[in-house]
Structure 1
Amino acid sequence: MQLRKLLAAGAIALMAIPAMAQENVTWWDFLSGGDGVRMKALIARFNKEHTDIKITSTTLEWGIPFYTKVRTSVAVGQGPDVMTYHLSRLPLGLDEGVLDQLTDEDIKNAGVTKDSFFPASIKAASSDDGKLYAVPLDIHSLVLYYNKTLLAGSKFLDAGGKLTGINNLKDFEEALAFAKQKGSVSPISYATGDDGGVYRVFYTLLRQQGGELISGKEVLAGDNLQKAAKSIEVMTKWATNGWQPEQAAYEASVALFTSGKSAFMLNGVWEVPTLVDQEKKGTLGFKWGAVQVPNLMGTQTTWADSHAFAIPAKNKMSPEKRKAVMTVIGWMEKNSLAWAEAGHIPAYKPVAESAEFKKMEPNATYSALANSASYDPRSPIAGVASPAYDAALNIISPAIHGYAEPMAAAEQVKQDLQDKLR
């Protein structure tokens, strides 16, 4: 009887103790495909490991629809607690006033420091006066994929099957000519009829010449106009010589490479899982590798962007909710090795420099590009789904297919973007 009374008293006492409050963190992202699968797995892991915080996630349509939704939600004060954000869109986000500044206390609550990220990514996540508005998750860049089987027996592969001997544009074009002679349908494949595909190749060639697309309030200032024309001229030559596909949509450009019809592919790191999966299934039919885009034009750099985490402006979260949000962000950074499986380079250096990541191929091979990456111009008309991308599709793509001279196209890009910048 005494034991029964004690148990009953204990049960009453436990009922009197208030349950630990669980912070519900509303999350928006634009991640689909392999990226979406990996992020959903990370969210599930976080929720399983945390009883005091729960992420409730929603995936929205990538590009303009996502950023329009963010802008609208902030205007009415109904944005999420945290969202994914392209750092190339940060200047426009600041211009629109949709991003909340992250304080030193926020970063402390995330359990990270600014110094623990690659400098280029932190700069891209900050305003011109150094205030932080996002936390970079990765660095994703254009890389050069290559077909080892097709290049076998050439001077462009070393004994270990690694790409070699491409130190400038002349070397690269020699490799393209070799591939054409070997029967390659399109020696270099990229999305020649797609805004992102054309823009990333153009911008890489421009930046490798030391060129600037936008300087302050001027588009293609000074000799940048000539450098832009040179970039378009190179891409046009690849088309004229039959080295690249004609008006290829994104999916078609990938298929050319995965079917073995292209010796090289200029595409983002996000296609690494496609090749890895096909290789595992035994459906690829050739051996492959991926490296950072070689120094073709004089400077070792390539187009890059970052997925990042940001907090919308005009949020009404409590200090406890904000701390929970930063806990979520910090956990994602520290567990970003799983995210790197999508081909990305972790922006958080402790993960990028870990022994585990150094074993991850081909990521580890091209990871050095994190130190020389060229982000889009810090301008509200640049970045993902921007007027700069529109110009690539509407002006540069027709030019490389012979519908305009390179200099005329560069001048049109200058005029078109300058009108939008005013």
Structure 2
Amino acid sequence: MLRGAVAGAGALGAAWALSGCGGDAAAAPGQTRIQLWHLFTGGDGGIFQEMMTQVQDENPAVGIDPVVLTWGAPYYTKLIMASVGGRAPDLAVMHATRVAGWVPGGVLDPWDVDLLAEHGVTQEMIPPALWERATIDGQLWAVPLDFHAFLLFFDRGLADQAGLLGPDGKLVGVDSPEGFVEAGRAMAEVTGYAGVGYGYTGDGAQMSRMLWGLYAQTGNEVVLNPGQPAELDRDALVECVSWVQSWMDDTVAIANSDYPSAVANFSTGRVGMCFNGNWELQSFLTAGVDVDAMPMPNIFGTPATYGDSHVFVLPHQVNVDPARRDAAYATVAAMLQKSLLWSDGGHIPANREVTESAEYQAKVPQSHYAEASEQAVFDPQAWFTGSGSDFQARVGEALQGAWLDKSSPEAAVDRLIGSLDAALQTKPPA
């Protein structure tokens, strides 16, 4: 893939220039301009732009030229082509789960932790799980901006009617395999339709979020070493798949539900709980839902919430410009300080100084699920996994039959293990 990207880089150069917002702006006297690529559109894009504007207003010595590209394969393809083709931006945003696949190819530069500290960014500021995911072979390859978590949203009014709201306003009775199912039935009695919304059909990402979050709660890990069979606990995976299958009964949850249907059902009160990412918070607020949220219920004993992290990376520069590189560090530090604003979109800021602030604690429901970043788990780490990867589609192909058609959980897990083992026999890009 890397070799092909080099060949195509020149042909797409003009397209990159057209994607920029002010990419050719002239620097003011004494100003250092950097190019920042990101994948935020819609509401997130507006908030991210506001953060950049505030950063530039407070530090006019640095000018930021943003380039906004469609997230997913188009974004990552163009970014990797820019890096290997000698047209890399000074700074870029990507997902933490994709970093491991990029490091071996030499398309990223590591961060200097001492220089980061000079700009006010230290390891102590970031939840350990996020910092560890950004660290590979002892070097820091990414600086986390946030943790975007797979949460359980709930309608406070419906939860109260179902007897599931505790004195502190938190959801109760959902932290065990049996308790969650019973809570779903109680909620279904109130809504008259179903208890829980979970849209997953045709969506490998949604199935990955559920599976790997639950699997981590069993206390097990997945180790993926190239050329070797996957190291995992098959019985624990079967337990997770079987448990989800048990409540896909059209009462606790509608078995045949895609992503838009689940969002719509929760937005209109047809279900009182909904598994989804924190990025849907604004959708639910706009719909007028009396919404609250919590990390993934602790079903199997070990607190764990699946998610991913938007991170800042340094695309590889053939000839590093010291002034622009320092400006990139300064920009990242300033953006982390502005991440209280970023939480408006539902994301959990990675900067603990922000999440521990009184201003953040006053935000509801954001502060009610902030602990998810301290119990963060991700896709298993390998060059072929992560947000937007083809592998998430393979997860979906393995699991959907078990949840939709009630086929064998054991067979589903074996298909999944087979996909992992096959991918591990494929030589990673270099």
Residue identity opposite 1:66 in structure 2: Y
Task: Return the offset for 1:94.
Answer: 1.1
Check 1:276–1:105 CA distance in 2 against 1; reply closer, same or farther (3 A cut): same
Normalising by structure 1, what TM-score? Answer: 0.89
Check 1:219–1:147 CA distance in 2 against 1; reply closer, same or farther (3 A cut): farther
8 Å CA contact 2:188–2:194 kept in 1: the answer is yes
Task: Return the offset for 1:160.
Answer: 4.7
Q: 1:104 aligns with which of 94, 103, 113?
A: 113
Task: Return the offset for 1:415.
Answer: 0.6
How many pairs align? 397
Residue identity opposite 1:307 in structure 2: H
Structure 2 counterpart SS, 1:240: coil
Taking the TM superposition and a 5 Å limit, the aligned residue runs for 1:13-412 are: 20-127=29-136, 129-193=137-201, 194-217=203-226, 221=231, 224-278=233-287, 284=288, 286-402=289-405, 404-412=407-415
Equivalent in the alignment of 2:14: none
The Cα RMSD (Å) is 2.0
| Equivalent-residue separation in structure 2 for 1:344 and 1:52 (angstroms) | 29
Residue identity opposite 1:169 in structure 2: P
8 Å CA contact 2:97–2:381 kept in 1: the answer is yes
**Bigger shift: residues 152-161 or 318-327:** 152-161
| Equivalent-residue separation in structure 2 for 1:215 and 1:113 (angstroms) | 29
8 Å CA contact 1:70–1:98 kept in 2: the answer is no
**Bigger shift: residues 141-150 or 331-340:** 141-150
Normalising by structure 2, what TM-score? Answer: 0.87
Task: Return the offset for 1:208.
Answer: 0.9
| Equivalent-residue separation in structure 2 for 1:184 and 1:208 (angstroms) | 31
Task: Return the offset for 1:38.
Answer: 0.5
Structure 2 counterpart SS, 1:151: helix
Equivalent in the alignment of 1:9: none
Structure 1 gap segments, 5+ residues each:
1-18, 279-283
Check 1:58–1:388 CA distance in 2 against 1; reply closer, same or farther (3 A cut): same
| Equivalent-residue separation in structure 1 for 2:294 and 2:271 (angstroms) | 16
| Equivalent-residue separation in structure 1 for 2:229 and 2:250 (angstroms) | 30
8 Å CA contact 1:351–1:357 kept in 2: the answer is yes
Check 1:411–1:227 CA distance in 2 against 1; reply closer, same or farther (3 A cut): same
Q: Alpha-carbon deviations, 1:185-229, whole Å to 9, x = none?
A: 23211221112111101111111112334444556535x111112
Structure 2 gap segments, 5+ residues each:
1-27, 426-430
Task: Return the offset for 1:317.
Answer: 3.5
Residue identity opposite 1:221 in structure 2: E
Equivalent in the alignment of 2:21: none
Residue identity opposite 2:143 in structure 1: V
Task: Return the offset for 1:334.
Answer: 0.9
Query: Runs of 4 or more off by more than 4 Å in structure 1?
Result: 217-220
Task: Return the offset for 1:57.
Answer: 0.6
Query: What percentage of aligned pairs have identical amino acids?
Result: 27
Task: Return the offset for 1:56.
Answer: 0.8
